[in-house]
């Protein structure tokens, strides 16, 4: 009897998990499906799910009309650059917080996190003015810096959590073995924290890739990444759902593929230290 | 060369003074053991010498050079940790090579030293493994190998054997002693195990609550404990400490007699008692005697086997020339 109950439970749990998963994934699935429809089918009522004339026309129009590769390249540079810069800044910061904490370390961590509670629009004006004065408007450099700063609290927090799990004695052993601080971080701490650093890099890359507020507000043409590419298909020319969907699909495809291949790494990284 | 001198060294954590100012000299080539109950400050003292903790006041000199503010990397000392602290992402070979890599020693010399250390420590077959694939004893040997190749001024051991099982511990104890005989390098060894201290040390430093209770050779500590604490701490089974009338008769506040310095008879003797538990080890017998009116329990040690049963009446006679006398402050009376 007990066996039957657990079996039943298992089925219910699995079904529920699939249900929730599909619910979350549905908008993305719908976008992908719509990208293969004609504009008329895209807005047909009742909507068609699979029984439509599959077409690649939207993709060819989108490719013709805008320079996808330029947007893609900007996205790669901005997401990659801000993540790399963030890691370079955050590793020493997280090292000091994890291994030589002061009385104020916890406060600093919370304070850093609290900056994430401020709506980004609240600082748009000062940052915009700053960008004009520094000549950073519509430059990839400017966006790399802004996105790095936006994600820095998360990077530091994640690395801090991983570093806390590394026994201090190993770093002390390195010090006794003649390693200076730089060598200790480079040869001992970083290699040991590779799984943690990898999942931090992945998550931040995804966050930076999908970031829309700053990328839309601080770029025009030159530095515009894929978020701007999607946005360019929304309002001005009236609504072209199918083309918008095609653009969206093209924008999310690279990160979706990256996420798919690194999901194991991501999950283990995000739950790291949760169960000891 | 590896003489280490502590001059009025003290350490406080916040308002708590864990080590009051103390002086200590560890001579070149000496095997010095810091021993004491947990929390006595012995590990902290070692970490001060290593440079892993900063001294609150005082000076530390290594080879006559003031090293108080020298970072650990520059003190020329090697340390073996209780947790081994190996680099998990490196092979055994790379672990051992690490300090030489940091010292920019050329690769041929590195390999020569690695091979020599691996041979001496029976690690040759394991050089390409990761620490995770080794047993506890092997890991500890890697940690020792990593310390040896640096050719340090002194070795620091922080309870290196406490994670090993009893049999392995005895084996590693001998290996470390032999290593010291061979290298003749200064070694400072921290342990809470007085048997380790007695068997390995040239010099023992007994610590309690940060204070040095006594410094001396193992046999000095055994034969002439300076106070009641050292008397009770050194020796196994522990010395019997007796207060009251029996002590006053001998002009002391406390008298101490080691279990092995008490004669036993079933018919007559100085003190009468009742047998509690008798532990038969074959080579020795430990008898725990109750109801003597002297202390809760008196332990005696007899060479060989003796047939006694729980509840038997037994007579004990201390060997008077082996008796230790202490005054009301707990200090030794000669």
Instruction: Identify the residue whose tokens are 């290699």.
Output: A191
Does this model's pTM top 0.90? no
| Nearest C-alpha in A relative to B104 | A178
Pairing relationship of beta strands B284-290 and B4-13 according to DSSP bridges: unpaired
B62, B98, B132, B148: best to mutate for the A interface, most A CBs within 10 A: B98
Angle at B108 between CA B103 and CA B113, to 5 degrees: 70
Token duo for residue A186: 């480079």
| pLDDT tens sequence across B181-235 | 999 999 999 999 989 999 999 999 999 999 999 999 999 999 999 999 999 999 9
CB of A173 less than 8 A from some CB of B: yes
Give chain B positions within 8 Å (CB) of A169. 81-83, 85
Give A143 to chain B, closest Cα distance, Å.
36
The secondary structure of residue A188, as a DSSP letter, is I
**B128: phi then psi, degrees, rounded to nearest 5:** -95, 5
Give chain B positions within 8 Å (CB) of A173. 79, 81, 85-87, 146
Helix (H, G, I), strand (E, B) or coil at B90: coil
Q: What domains does chain A contain, in order, with CATH numbers?
A: 67-232 (1.10.3720.10)
Q: What domains does chain B contain, in order, with CATH numbers?
A: 4-230 (3.40.50.300), 238-333 (2.40.50.140)
Pairing relationship of beta strands B77-80 and B154-158 according to DSSP bridges: parallel
Angle at A246 between CA A240 and CA A251, to 5 degrees: 125
Helix (H) or strand (E) holding A274: none
Q: A173 vs B79: CB contact, 8 Å cut-off?
A: yes
Q: How confident is the model at residue A238 (pLDDT cuts 50, 70, 90)?
A: low
Give B200 to chain A, closest Cα distance, Å.
24
ipTM attached to this prediction: 0.85
Residue A68: is its pLDDT beyond 90?
Answer: no
Cis peptide before B237 (omega within 30 of 0): yes
Q: Are A88 and A155 in contact (CB under 8 A)?
A: no
Residues 189-248 of A with CB under 8 A from B: 191-192, 194
For chains A and B, what is the number of CB pairs under 8 angstroms? 61
Q: Are B224 and B191 in contact (CB under 8 A)?
A: no
| pLDDT tens sequence across B75-130 | 999 999 998 899 988 999 999 999 999 999 999 999 999 999 999 888 999 999 99
Pairing relationship of beta strands B271-280 and B332-333 according to DSSP bridges: unpaired
pLDDT of residue B93: 95
| pLDDT tens sequence across A130-159 | 999 999 888 999 999 999 999 999 999 999
Q: A176 vs B103: CB contact, 8 Å cut-off?
A: no
Average pLDDT of A157-171? 89
Strand stretches in chain B, DSSP E = 4-13, 16-26, 31-35, 57-62, 65-66, 77-80, 154-158, 186-191, 203-208, 211-216, 240-243, 254-257, 262-265, 271-280, 284-290, 298-303, 313-318, 324-326, 332-333
Q: Which residues does A198 contact at the CB level (< 8 Å), separation at least 6? A: A262, A265, A269
Give B153 to chain A, closest Cα distance, Å.
12
Greatest C-alpha distance within chain B? 75
| Nearest C-alpha in A relative to B96 | A177
Compute the distance between CA of residue A8 and CA of residue B162 in angstroms, rounded to an integer: 50
Q: A177 vs B88: CB contact, 8 Å cut-off?
A: no
| Nearest C-alpha in A relative to B155 | A176
Question: How many CB atoms sit inside 10 A of residue A99's CB?
Answer: 16
């Amino acid at each position: 009897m007990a066996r039957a109950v657990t079996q039943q439970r298992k089925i219910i749990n699995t079904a529920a998990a699939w249900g929730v998963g599909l619910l979350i994934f549905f908008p993305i699935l719908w976008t992908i499906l719509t990208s293969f429809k004609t504009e008329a089918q895209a807005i047909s009522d009742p909507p068609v799910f699979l029984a439509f004339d599959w077409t690649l026309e939207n993709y060819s129009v989108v490719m013709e009309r805008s320079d996808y590769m330029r947007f893609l390249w900007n996205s790669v540079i901005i997401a990659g650059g801000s993540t790399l810069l963030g890691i370079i800044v955050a590793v020493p910061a997280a090292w000091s917080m994890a291994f030589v904490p002061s009385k104020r370390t916890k406060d600093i961590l919370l304070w850093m996190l609290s900056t994430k509670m401020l709506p980004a629009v609240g600082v748009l004006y000062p940052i915009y003015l700053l960008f004009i004065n520094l000549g950073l408007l519509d430059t990839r450099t400017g966006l790399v810096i802004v996105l790095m700063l936006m994600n820095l609290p998360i990077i530091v927090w994640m690395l801090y959590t991983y570093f806390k799990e590394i026994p201090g004695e190993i770093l002390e052993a390195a010090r006794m073995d003649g390693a200076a601080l730089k060598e200790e971080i480079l040869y001992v701490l970083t290699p040991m924290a590779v799984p943690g650093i990898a999942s931090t890099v992945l998550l931040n890359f995804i966050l930076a890739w999908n970031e829309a507020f700053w990328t839309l507000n601080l770029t025009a043409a030159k530095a515009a990444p894929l978020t701007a590419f999607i946005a360019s298909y929304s309002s001005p020319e009236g609504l072209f759902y199918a083309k918008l969907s095609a653009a969206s699909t093209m924008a999310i495809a690279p990160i979706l593929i990256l996420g798919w291949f690194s999901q194991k790494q991501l999950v283990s990284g995000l739950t790291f230290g949760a169960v000891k | 060369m590896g003489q280490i001198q502590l001059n009025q060294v003290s350490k406080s954590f916040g308002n708590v003074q864990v080590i009051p100012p103390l002086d200590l000299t560890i001579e070149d080539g000496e095997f010095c053991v810091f021993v004491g109950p947990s929390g006595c400050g012995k590990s902290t003292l070692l970490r001060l010498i290593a440079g892993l903790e900063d001294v609150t006041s005082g000076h530390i000199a290594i080879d006559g050079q003031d090293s108080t503010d020298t970072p650990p990397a520059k003190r020329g000392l090697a340390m073996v940790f209780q947790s081994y602290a190996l680099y998990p992402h490196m092979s055994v070979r790379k672990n051992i090579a690490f300090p030489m890599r940091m010292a920019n020693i050329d690769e041929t010399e590195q390999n020569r030293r690695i091979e020599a250390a691996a041979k001496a420590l029976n690690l040759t077959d394991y050089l390409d493994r990761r620490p995770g694939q080794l047993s506890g004893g092997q890991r500890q040997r890697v940690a020792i190998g990593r310390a040896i190749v640096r050719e340090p001024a002194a070795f620091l051991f922080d309870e290196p054997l406490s994670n090993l099982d009893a049999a392995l511990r005895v084996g590693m104890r001998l290996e470390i002693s032999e290593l010291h005989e061979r290298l003749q390098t200064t070694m400072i060894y921290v342990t809470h195990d007085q048997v380790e201290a007695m068997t390995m040390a040239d010099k023992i430093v007994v610590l309690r609550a940060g204070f040095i209770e006594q410094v001396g050779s193992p046999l000095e500590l055994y034969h002439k404990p300076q106070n009641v604490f050292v008397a009770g701490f050194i020796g196994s089974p522990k010395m019997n400490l007796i207060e009251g009338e029996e002590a006053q008769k001998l002009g002391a506040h406390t008298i101490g007699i080691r279990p092995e310095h008490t004669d036993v008879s079933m018919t007559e003797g100085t003190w009468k008692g009742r047998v509690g538990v008798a532990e038969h080890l074959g080579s020795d017998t430990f008898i725990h005697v109750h109801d003597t009116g002297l202390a809760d329990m008196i332990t005696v040690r007899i060479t060989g086997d003796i047939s006694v049963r729980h509840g038997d009446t037994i007579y004990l006679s201390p060997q008077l020339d082996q008796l230790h006398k202490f005054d009301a402050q707990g200090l030794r009376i000669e």
